[in-house]
Structure 1
Amino acid sequence: MKAKISVYQLFAGIVMAPLGTAILFLITPEAKQDAWIAMLIYIIPGIMLQIIYTSLWKKYPKDTIVTYMPKIFGKILGYIISIVYILFFAYEAARVARDFTDLILISSMPKVSSTIILLSIMLVSGYAAYLGLENMFRSANLFLYIWIIFFILEWLFLYRTEGTLKFYNIKPILHNGIVPVIKESWKLITFPYGETLIMAMFFPYVKETSKVRKISLLSIIFMGIFLTLNTVMFISVLGVNFASNSLFPFLRTVRLMHIGETFDRVDIFVILIMMIGGFIKVSFFMYGSMLGFSKMVKIKDTRYLALPFSVVVFFTAMLIAKNYPQHIYIGQTLTITYIHLPLTVIIPIIALIIYYIKRLIFKIDAET
């Protein structure tokens, strides 16, 4: 029986997929104290991306991005692009797994082997992928509520902790105008907004197909506002320089808040909340890779691919970088520019243009 997901679960999936890692960092340090404005502005390109993704899906409503690329670009080039997307999703799963391995290693368990931590992450994520699409989206739906509640409580506790929220840190606002902010923050279009491309693998499984675009656009707006408030929090609490240079500004921020008079360290709870997002994101991207591969080689049950793909992601995550600074450099500089940009922005735009050109040519031929 074909898996089915609701539009509410789709909303949660679109939000949770990028948010799993986006919430950890100050994503646009180049914009300095205007980083929150950049996040807000780039909601618009994020919405445009969703229009492109959903437009492509509406042309081929029974297909995923892996299966409709050969129909647009032709068999040879199309299959090559599809294979690249399968590898991209697996690579993203490995990057996220490495992110959270280093998070645990640096923040709470420096004496534990990174191999053991990574293995634990992959066991949970691999099992989630084995359980299938419906279970992953149900989990995303549940944990989105948990994240929202935690985020609200975080603001409340920071407000009640004297001297933590210093909103003067976000000033001066647009000191050099809005153009430099837009120019310096172009990477936001690829991360976090471009990462929602993974949902193009799951659109055919949504029950209420007529609401897919509406829900996709609402989810981008919600995520953009969520990350904007998160960025304001980082800058106001830590200051722009400290937030930019901190390995994990999210963790550093919550360590400053106090809950009551004695309970002032919530590190383990915060790491657990962040790990939930990490597990969901790894599961989504790994399952997207599994699903794409199964479509190409005509495997009906993707569960058989959970173990081999978990092994591939595990070793990729181990070998992806020598250390955490190198991992961050590769991710924020090389990956975003040379992998994310072409795969999440350029190719989908070209694919939609080619579709309309073909449609116009065939229509003209039919008329003549």
Structure 2
Amino acid sequence: MTKEVISDKQGISLVILFIMGSTLVLGTGAEAGKDSWLAILVAAAFACPVVLMYSRLLALSPGKDLFYISEWVLGRMLGKGIGLLYIWFAFHLGALVIRNFGEFINTISLPETPKIIPMTGLVLLCLWAVKSGIEVLGRWGELGLIVLLILIFLTIGLLVPKMDWRNIQPFLQKGFKPIGKGALAVFSFPFAETVVFAGVFSVLQRKNSIYRVYLWGLLLGAAIVWATAFTEILVLGEGEYTTILFPAHSTVRRINIRNFIQRLEIIPAIAFLGGGFIKVSICLFSACYGIARVCNYEDYRIVASPVALLMLNLSHWIYDSTMEMFDWAFQVWPYYAFFFQVILPAILLVAGEIKNRQGKGAGKNYDG
């Protein structure tokens, strides 16, 4: 396939934006109530060894992706089967994010406009990114992250007068069980979703930097998610934070500086568009890379258009309502995704370590 490269800084930027994705608008960890900010910290702590597991798996064969490594570790047929599972996961995740975007736009801004219209616009934008190559996406991510960080932290600064520290007191009022449930939700959405990058991180310019990119991307992305969730809880309180559909939008609506600085709801919309664009594009990249590997195509771009259109079609039909979308995201997704995020990578890593110790290093005896 066509060889592309991105720098470590661009890789970290993409991971951060991927984690921000739809999380900043939908919120996460609401199961923990006012202790959601603690749940995010616990989830980040558990996610660190998991992303190190992804990194180690990729380090077994520097410069190769998850689809190649699956075939090397488990053999051609079984490895292609695992590859198909991860193609589905990336495809499914991309469709979910597209629908998140459509529901947000339809609920907040354009209630009379069919959801398929903004969803189609996002998919076409992501398709353009995939056709242009991940190098273009990496450069956009590096610049876009700076803009989004300025907007996010400026917004947090403007919300300081609206914060009430009593909204997070007392700590651990309901015990550790809600925090555990909230941490599981945050772990699966969005931290461990970064397993999708295992399908595209063969493009890193420095092959030995996979640990640095993955870990720094996770930690910085988690810090941003924590800061926004902490702000939302302080401003909205537990009742609103855990019941409203889009807490970021409701939080930003509270900004009113002398009746002059107000109506800044466009900021979470911009953050959602920027992060969602990156997240869907990475999912589309990973699915197309995987199909090209499994089908032995020379260039992943030849399947980009049909995959993008199928992803759009799935996103349109996957839910019957907004409430069904939220119910799936917070009640079903953590358990469904755990298989792809933890169990399969763990199996691949154990098998890969055994094969590596037997002296059958990836790329030495496997021609993929």
Q: TM-score range by the shorter chain?
A: over 0.9
Which residue pairs with 2:95 in the alignment?
94
Is contact 1:66-1:86 (8 Å) kept? no
Which residue pairs with 2:104 in the alignment?
103
109 and 186 in structure 1: CA distance in 2 versus 1, 3 angstrom threshold: same
Provide the alpha-carbon RMSD of the alignment: 1.8
Which residue pairs with 1:347 in the alignment?
344
Which residue pairs with 1:44 in the alignment?
45
Which residue pairs with 2:241 in the alignment?
243
362 and 10 in structure 1: CA distance in 2 versus 1, 3 angstrom threshold: closer
2:168 alignment partner, one of 140, 165, 170: 170
Is contact 1:136-1:284 (8 Å) kept? no
Following superposition, the deviation at residue 176 of structure 1 comes to 4.5
SS in 2 for 1:135: helix
Equivalent pairs: percent with the same residue?
25
7 and 242 in structure 1: CA distance in 2 versus 1, 3 angstrom threshold: same
289 and 185 in structure 1: CA distance in 2 versus 1, 3 angstrom threshold: same
Following superposition, the deviation at residue 175 of structure 1 comes to 2.8
SS in 1 for 2:26: coil
SS in 2 for 1:42: helix
Normalised to the residue count of structure 1, the TM-score between the two structures is 0.92
**In the comparison of the two structures, how many residue pairs are matched?**
359
Deviations 1:245-295 (A, max 9, x none): 111001111111125533411223432332121111111111110111112
For the pair 1:56 / 2:53, whether they are aligned, the reply is no
Is contact 2:36-2:182 (8 Å) kept? no
For the pair 1:230 / 2:221, whether they are aligned, the reply is no
Which residue pairs with 1:10 in the alignment?
11
Gaps of 5+ in 1: 364-368
Is contact 1:24-1:250 (8 Å) kept? yes
Following superposition, the deviation at residue 174 of structure 1 comes to 2.0
244 and 212 in structure 1: CA distance in 2 versus 1, 3 angstrom threshold: same
Following superposition, the deviation at residue 76 of structure 1 comes to 2.7
Paired AA for residue 187 in structure 1: A
Normalised to the residue count of structure 2, the TM-score between the two structures is 0.92
Paired AA for residue 69 in structure 2: Y
59 and 323 in structure 1: CA distance in 2 versus 1, 3 angstrom threshold: same
Is contact 1:127-1:306 (8 Å) kept? no
Separation of aligned partners in 2, 1:260 and 1:15: 34
2:324 alignment partner, one of 323, 326, 345: 326
Is contact 1:234-1:250 (8 Å) kept? yes
Is contact 2:10-2:139 (8 Å) kept? yes
Following superposition, the deviation at residue 70 of structure 1 comes to 2.0
SS in 2 for 1:185: helix
SS in 1 for 2:21: helix
Is contact 1:92-1:285 (8 Å) kept? yes
